[in-house]
């Protein structure tokens, strides 16, 4: 009885009235809102009109899921609802919205299976069906690369069978999408195995030099059409080749990037541009890393205008941890900017999630994924204090088996704490997603607070340019250009369209 009486006494001292209690509660909600990403943005009257429209549609989606959790799409695998996204009014608005930049994408995983299928109708392309897999090669004669069946021109292989069935079978090699993802991908092991096979199949199609140049041009166009104005592309810099077997050094691949970027900017003057992050495999030894770093310096010296920096990529749990290369990476940090993949794991207290420590100590400008960083409070503080952007790729994290229900994605925590976040799409072509709009949509409706609104979307877009490697003058120009596009979007917005 004494305990009950004292509890009531304390309550009445702290909260003299119910109105006082409600005021304190409202202050907590207001302060949390101000702390979150975009919380300090003040909307204009026209932006408020857009906001009212998009939030009405968002509330309908979120509230339906709240009342009918058995039908809530974001609690399931992305492949089960990806085709329904196009019907969402929120998605349609986001699709039309300027989204700034994509800062975390991998060159050979951007355009989807339908694009690759069109390339299989090119002349001089050979195919080899190798048990349950397939190989390709452009050549002016039968390739000498080992094949367990036999090499044949794909045009002849298609003619000798039912072409519709042939293409239906072939397309499956160029996508991770399946009708039963929970069965096909029960763990990260299976999803990454198929993911790596995907790159093994497309590399010899895409690295034929004439194809490569057109492919990257089409990548830029695809992002531009998704209202993205600037890219930073990670590349392993594969060696390009000619029909006669001529093989070019990786430095030529970097120069090809620059040539294609310049051609695209000439054709589309409102596009800000693109830069290259050299990102070879992390499954290497120290001598191989020395070769990578030498090449990175050579690229920087030869094409400094498009070179952004260096990364190491691949399944992080299986690759070499950064701590194995500290002497070399510390020395090279004087010459190179780092954008390390780090913490792309569900594990805690392993060498993989501790890559986050080394990425920060090595001076990384941005961190790829950083999925595990919410388990490291000191690192969270470092990221905020130093302005190290976290490149979050929500759909990638679901497809590659880090999280199923995106409401549990740590991005919700990043948003709430006002962390320096940018959204990107990683390898959208591999799972048949939009260049960037799908990731914005899933993050906005599935991950962010129900109350997060247009201010969040605007801040993320601005972040993507602020945390880019554009220099001061060009960054300001890009932000000015973004503001013009944003204002045009707001000025011409008509809710009845959606």
What pLDDT digit, counting tens, does each position of 30-81 carry? 999 999 999 999 999 999 999 999 999 999 999 999 999 999 999 999 999 9
Tokens of 157: 């292989």
Cβ contacts of 49 within 8 Å, gap of 6 or more: 490, 493, 495
* Domain limits, the chain: 1-35, 83-111+206-489, 115-174
DSSP assignment letter at 177? -
Instruction: Give the tens place of pLDDT for each residue, 450-496.
Output: 999 999 999 999 999 999 999 999 999 999 999 999 999 999 999 99
Gap between the terminal Cα atoms of the chain: 60
- What are the pLDDT digits (tens) for 74-123? 999 999 999 999 999 999 999 999 999 999 999 999 999 999 999 999 99
What is the model's pLDDT at position 41? 97
Q: Would you call 344 a catalytic residue per the annotation? A: yes
Where do we find the tokens 């408020």?
Answer: 48
Cβ-proximal residues to 234 (8 Å cutoff; 6+ apart), any chain: 104, 105, 106, 107, 277, 278, 279, 311, 313, 339
Judge whether residue 4 has pLDDT over 80. no
* Identified catalytic residue from 47, 232, 344, 432: 344
Sheet holding 307-310, edge to edge: 101-106, 230-235, 273-278, 307-310
Q: Rounded CA gap, 206 and 211, in Å?
A: 6
Contact 470, 78 (CB under 8 A): no
**Residue from 227, 220, 214 nearest 482 by CA:** 227
197-231 pLDDT, tens digit per residue, is 999 999 999 999 999 999 999 999 999 999 999 99
Looking at residues 256-272, what average pLDDT do you find?
98
**Rounded distance between C-alpha atoms, residue 349 and residue 361, angstroms:** 17
What average pLDDT does this structure show over 421-434? 98
- Strand 389-392 relative to strand 366-369, pairing: parallel
Burial annotation 129-141 (CB, 10 A radius, 16+ → b, else e): beeeebbbbbbee
pLDDT at 12 over 70: no
Q: Copy the structure tokens of residue 99.
A: 């989204």
pLDDT of 14 reads 61
Residue 11, pLDDT score: 42
- CATH hierarchy code of domain 83-111+206-489: 3.20.20.140
Residue 409 annotated as catalytic: no
The pLDDT of residue 359 is above 50? yes
**139 φψ region: left (φ > 0), alpha (ψ -120 to 50), beta (else):** beta
Q: What integer best gives the mean pLDDT of the chain?
A: 95
User: Could you report the per-residue pLDDT of 289-318, keeping only the tens digit for each?
Assistant: 999 999 999 999 999 999 999 999 999 999
Residue range 382-398: mean pLDDT, rounded: 97
Residue 5 confidence (pLDDT) = 40
Give tens-digit pLDDT for 132-186: 899 999 999 999 888 888 999 999 999 999 999 999 999 999 999 999 999 999 9
**How much is the pTM?**
0.94
Residue 426 has pLDDT above 50, yes or no: yes
Q: Which of 369, 376, 391, 409 is catalytic?
A: 369
Mark 297-324 as b/e (b = at least 16 C-beta within 10 Å). bbbbeebeebbbbbbbbbbbbebbbbeb
Q: How far apart are alpha carbons 249 and 251 in whole angstroms?
A: 5
Instruction: Retrieve residue 65's tokens.
Output: 């899921």
Supply the pLDDT for residue 149.
84
Above 90 in pLDDT, residue 2? no
- Composition of the chain by helix, strand, coil, percent to 5: 55, 10, 35
For tokens 């009405």, the residue is 56
């Amino acid at each position: 009885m004494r305990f009950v009486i004292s509890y009531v006494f304390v309550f009445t001292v702290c909260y003299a009235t119910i109105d006082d209690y409600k005021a304190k509660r409202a202050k907590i909600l207001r302060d949390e809102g101000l702390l979150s990403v975009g919380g300090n943005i003040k909307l204009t009257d026209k932006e408020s009109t857009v906001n009212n429209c998009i939030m009405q549609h968002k509330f309908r989606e979120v509230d339906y899921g709240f009342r009918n959790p058995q039908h809530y799409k974001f609690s399931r695998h992305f492949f089960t609802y990806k085709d329904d996204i196009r019907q969402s009014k929120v998605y349609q608005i986001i699709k039309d919205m300027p989204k700034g930049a994509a800062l975390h994408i991998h060159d050979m995983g951007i355009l989807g299976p339908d694009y690759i299928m069109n390339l299989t109708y090119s002349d001089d392309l050979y195919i080899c069906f190798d048990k349950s897999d397939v190989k390709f090669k452009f050549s002016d004669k039968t390739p000498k690369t080992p094949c367990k069946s036999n090499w044949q021109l794909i045009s002849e292989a298609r003619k000798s069978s039912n072409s519709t069935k042939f293409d239906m079978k072939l397309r499956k090699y160029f996508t991770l999408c399946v009708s039963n993802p929970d069965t096909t991908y029960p763990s990260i092991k299976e999803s990454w195995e198929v993911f790596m096979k995907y790159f093994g199949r497309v590399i010899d199609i895409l690295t034929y030099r004439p194809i490569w140049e057109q492919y990257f041009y089409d990548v830029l166009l695809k992002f531009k059409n998704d209202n993205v104005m600037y890219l930073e592309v990670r590349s392993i810099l594969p060696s390009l080749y000619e029909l006669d077997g001529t093989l070019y050094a990786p430095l030529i691949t970097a120069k090809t990037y620059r040539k294609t970027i310049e051609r695209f900017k000439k054709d589309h003057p409102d596009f800000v541009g693109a830069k290259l992050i050299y990102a070879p495999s992390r499954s290497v030894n120290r001598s191989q890393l020395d070769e990578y770093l030498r090449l990175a310096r050579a690229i920087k010296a030869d094409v400094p205008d498009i070179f952004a920096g260096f990364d190491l990529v691949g399944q992080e749990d299986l690759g070499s941890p950064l701590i194995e290369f500290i002497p070399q990476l510390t020395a090279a940090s004087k010459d190179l900017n780092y954008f390390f993949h780090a913490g792309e794991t569900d594990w805690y207290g392993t060498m993989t999630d501790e890559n986050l420590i080394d990425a920060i100590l090595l001076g990384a400008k941005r961190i790829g994924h950083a999925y595990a960083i919410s388990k490291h409070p000191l690192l969270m503080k470092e990221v905020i204090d130093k302005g190290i952007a976290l490149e979050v790729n929500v759909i990638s994290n679901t497809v590659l088996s880090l999280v199923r229900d995106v409401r549990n994605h740590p991005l919700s925590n990043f948003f709430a704490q006002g962390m320096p976040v940018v959204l990107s799409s990683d390898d959208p072509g591999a799972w048949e997603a939009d260049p960037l709009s799908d990731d914005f949509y899933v993050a906005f409706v599935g991950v962010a607070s129900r109350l997060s609104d247009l201010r969040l979307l605007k801040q993320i877009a601005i972040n993507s340019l602020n945390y880019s490697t554009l220099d001061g003058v060009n960054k300001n120009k890009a932000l000015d250009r973004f503001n013009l596009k944003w204002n045009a979007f707001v000025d011409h917005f008509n809710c009845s369209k959606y």
